[in-house]
Structure 1
Amino acid sequence: MEKRRIEEYEAGLVPSSKGVDRFGFVKQDNSSSADALNKNRLANEHHREERRIRKWRKMIGVGGSDWKHYVRRKPHVVKRRIRKGIPDCLRGLVWQLISGSRDLLLMNPGVYEQLVIYETSASELDIIRDISRTFPSHVFFQQRHGPGQRSLYNVLKAYSVYDRDVGYVQGMGCLAGLLLLYMSEEDAFWLLVALLKGAVHAPMEGLYLVGLPLVQQYLYQFDQLMREHLPKLGEHFTNEMINPSMYASQWFITVFTYSFPFHLALRIWDVFLYEGVKIVFQVGLALLKYCHDDLIKLHFEKLIHALRNFPEDAMNPDILLPMAYSIKVSRRLEELRDEYEKKNGKVSKSANSSGKQKQ
């Protein structure tokens, strides 16, 4: 599928073709009733979406020219609109603006091309082996050696050369794949750089360094927060010998792009890029809170399964995200970061969790 058609699916303003949803994923349910419901929903949302797009275009200006000025003048309006969801047809551009990656690209002309064409990576075989595992049900990545897989390879290879300390780790493919559905290779590369090197928020490269130091810190913080907000569930997890590494590692490593519904992952990423990693903690806590009464009845094996397979009603962004926003974690995250660092006897730059959060 050519990129223009994918953009139309992502915009959500045209019906999907048979067997493919509006995001470009092969549908599991091809029933006519599901198609009819989808068409009716799109028709009902069409005019509302057009109004939202006009507001966003006015806010960001041509090519993003008014964005920084608008953010300075009306930060609360920006935050509110991002939490409601960025219009899909503008998502790629807005993600670049709020992540700081557009500035990185402009400051480094020709660097991406140099990395892709002229440099070699020690991780090339690992990247090639994993390419087909990234969004295997999406039409852009399904064709072996097709444009999607080539673009994904290029971005991951370029990053593995750009940051040889990190190189390539499998979870990075989910991040790069998601970005490529909304922007060019070069744009996706610089957004990956912005995330891992900390262009706006604290650097996240510790998610992929040897030993996964930032993952370990995040899991410690999450476990403490879970026990503070949901003490009965925390006690139940202790009794069943459940710890966050058994179910929450992928939440942080892939920022919910792995195994979570795509429409929910997109809404989380809108907020994640603007407000920082705290939204991952908030969504995780909200999921456990929503399913609390069911989880507390389960024993080890069924509990592990439930924690890796949340029910469909728990994945509704219009229910889950407001619940997540209501959970205040920023100050406590900083306290728990300091506690973790003292406990481990050092302060790690890559394990600086919460960073400067937008309030």
Structure 2
Amino acid sequence: MDKRKASDEFEIDPNAPARLVDRFGFVKQDQTNSPEGFKSRPTNEHEREERRVKKWRKMIGVGGSDWKHYVRRKPHVVKRRIRKGIPDCLRGLVWQLISGSRDLLLMNPGVYEQLVLYETSASELDIIRDISRTFPSHVFFQQRHGPGQRSLYNVLKAYSVYDRDVGYVQGMGFIAGLLLLYMSEEDAFWLLVALLKGAVHAPMEGLYQAGLPLVQQYLFQFEQLVKEYMPKLGEHFSQEMINPSMYASQWFITVFSYSFPFPLALRIWDVFLYEGVKIVFQIGLALMRFCHDDLIKLPFEKLIHALKNFPEEAMNPDTLLPLAFSIKVSKRLEELDQEYEKRNEGSLQKSGSTHKRMISSRLKQFGGKP
């Protein structure tokens, strides 16, 4: 299989007009030739980034050879550095190391190629239909039937064959697409497997299984956390009949890769792959806390809009992430997990069908039937 990084394979229609892109490959909305962008970043920022890269290279070793040893010796250093952000040039490799996907790849030689070339999937038409809706403003995925869309199709098709119980569900494309921007098809596939099957953290497959059981659980937990951590806002949501399925489903289904600013999404993914799903709850609560005084004044329709369109200042990674880290949720999430299981045996079974219908309507944002 081709081991080249997706980011090294950009192909743009030669007849298309030249377009300005940001340093991540997304077409800029403002096409004026402004001085903004990575080429004009201050010299001291470049120097600081180079120092960070050197530290990280020393920490992971050649090809990740020293990683496990370093994590065992200095776990707090690793956690602190990941929370500060993984250097972009090393992000793909580090993601594979912290997710456990590198081990899966090494243990399963030839499996990905077999799935892509020799197996068929019942989800192939659904995947083809949704391909163009995944990161449509990124140059890698814009060309119809281009390398980006082909790679995305291959990864999603391979997973739908690998796990026929899950198959393919809208929203998975954004996760696979994000991974493909930092690694090869085969690497992206095994990272997707590591996430959904739980190589390191709790498996994510329940986000995409029939009935969306894990989405329902996470929304229940998040609603309780809002009520407990910000009771006035929780009461206001209740009065306005706002529940998390109206705005937060995609947060969990795509881990913020669907609509959040890309630099913020990357920083969240750095932490998510190392610490698990708790960061999704922390980010959601941090946004609520940051915008608390504004949200508590809004009626239903404006609330829905605000919860899907947070202000730019709230989306600054250097502001939002420290706030998120200050919100401790691990113990309470475990308690709510147990509470959900007990309640789900009875009263929540009836409300679950309602939640499922609302969640399904949110999935239509990604295109097609849920």
Q: Is the 8 A contact 1:7 1:182 kept in 2?
A: no
Partner of 1:22: 23
The ranges of structure 1 where at least 4 consecutive aligned residues each deviate by more than 2 angstroms after the TM superposition are 3-9, 30-33, 35-44
Deviation at 1:30, TM superposition (A): 2.6
SS in 2 for 1:136: coil
Partner of 2:284: 284
| Alignment CA distance shift 1:325-1:8 (3 Å) | farther
Partner of 1:55: 55
Q: Is the 8 A contact 1:264 1:315 kept in 2?
A: yes
Aligned length: 336
Q: Is the 8 A contact 1:64 1:93 kept in 2?
A: yes
Task: Spell out the pairing of 1:213-224 with structure 2 (5 A cutoff).
Answer: 213-224=213-224
Of structures 1 and 2, the one with the larger relative CO (CA 8 A, separation 6+) is: 2
**d(CA) in 2 for partners of 1:294, 1:140:** 38
| Alignment CA distance shift 1:8-1:133 (3 Å) | closer
Structure 2 letter corresponding to 1:73: R
Task: Spell out the pairing of 1:56-205 with structure 2 (5 A cutoff).
Answer: 56-205=56-205
Structure 1 letter corresponding to 2:119: E
Partner of 1:12: none
Superimposed CA distance per residue, residues 145-192 of structure 1 (whole angstroms, 9 cap, x where no aligned partner) = 000000000000000000000000011000000000000000000000
Partner of 1:324: 324
Q: CA RMSD in A?
A: 1.6
**d(CA) in 2 for partners of 1:47, 1:101:** 31
**d(CA) in 2 for partners of 1:89, 1:37:** 17
Q: Is the 8 A contact 1:6 1:23 kept in 2?
A: no
**d(CA) in 1 for partners of 2:237, 2:6:** 46
SS in 1 for 2:132: helix
Deviation at 1:345, TM superposition (A): 2.1
| Alignment CA distance shift 1:142-1:234 (3 Å) | same
Q: Is the 8 A contact 1:207 1:253 kept in 2?
A: yes
Deviation at 1:43, TM superposition (A): 3.5
Deviation at 1:7, TM superposition (A): 5.7
**d(CA) in 1 for partners of 2:209, 2:40:** 47
**d(CA) in 1 for partners of 2:181, 2:300:** 37
Partner of 1:357: none
Deviation at 1:39, TM superposition (A): 4.0
Q: Is the 8 A contact 1:7 1:89 kept in 2?
A: no
**d(CA) in 2 for partners of 1:152, 1:5:** 10
Q: Is the 8 A contact 2:6 2:180 kept in 1?
A: no
**d(CA) in 1 for partners of 2:39, 2:70:** 35
**d(CA) in 2 for partners of 1:80, 1:340:** 32
Deviation at 1:40, TM superposition (A): 3.6
Q: Is the 8 A contact 2:255 2:269 kept in 1?
A: yes
Deviation at 1:74, TM superposition (A): 0.1
Superimposed CA distance per residue, residues 298-342 of structure 1 (whole angstroms, 9 cap, x where no aligned partner) = 101111000001010000000000000000000000000000001
SS in 2 for 1:31: coil
SS in 2 for 1:133: coil
| Alignment CA distance shift 1:277-1:36 (3 Å) | closer
| Alignment CA distance shift 1:37-1:94 (3 Å) | closer
Q: Is the 8 A contact 1:134 1:141 kept in 2?
A: yes
Q: Is the 8 A contact 2:5 2:184 kept in 1?
A: no
Structure 1 alignment gaps of length 5 or more: 10-16, 347-359
Deviation at 1:45, TM superposition (A): 1.3
**d(CA) in 2 for partners of 1:117, 1:6:** 23
| Alignment CA distance shift 1:127-1:205 (3 Å) | same
Superimposed CA distance per residue, residues 64-94 of structure 1 (whole angstroms, 9 cap, x where no aligned partner) = 0000000000000000000000000000000
Deviation at 1:44, TM superposition (A): 3.7
Partner of 2:349: none
Q: Is the 8 A contact 1:222 1:244 kept in 2?
A: yes
**d(CA) in 2 for partners of 1:38, 1:18:** 16
Deviation at 1:18, TM superposition (A): 5.5
